[in-house]
Amino acid sequence: MPKYHPIAQPLQVKTSLSDLIALTWEDQGVCADFAIPDDAWRALTVQFHRTHVVRILDEMALSPENEDTVSEGLIAEHFAYLVEDSSFWKSQSEALKLIHNNARHYRFVTGWTCLDVISDEEPVITITARRSNRS
């Protein structure tokens, strides 16, 4: 059974009304923008400077991962987690786990999208201007 550890975020949002609105690759990492409900100008941005694996799923697609449907530590309307013992982590190659022995599984869940990231580094979560509104 996976164990979820909530990650502090700079703004509490109603994640069931949020969605992933942009994902960009940056050198060896990724930057993901999530909608802040009722705020057309700002986004909750998650940045990883070093990323090994990225997966994007419709949130509904998580239910087939049977062992992930019963989870410890999930909090209603919270979206950022460090996850231990998930089926996604278990499905990664032993080579990846050996070579990147500091890598961890992070999950970001909204009402529409689930973003899984395996990275050696913790995410940086900030509030930014939405990309379409950035100058």
Q: Are 20 and 112 in contact (CB under 8 A)?
A: yes
pTM of the model: 0.90
What does the pLDDT average to over 7-12? Answer: 93
Which pLDDT score, from 0 to 100, does residue 65 have? 57
Single-letter amino acid code for the residue at 87: S
Q: Give 118's Cβ-side CA count (13 Å radius).
A: 21
> What value does the mean pLDDT of the chain take?
89
What does the chain come to in residues? Answer: 135
What does the pLDDT average to over 62-85? Answer: 77
- Break the chain into its structural domains and give their ranges: 3-133
Element (H, E) at 69: helix 66-69
Alpha carbon distance 119, 36 (integer Å): 24
Which pLDDT score, from 0 to 100, does residue 58 have? 81
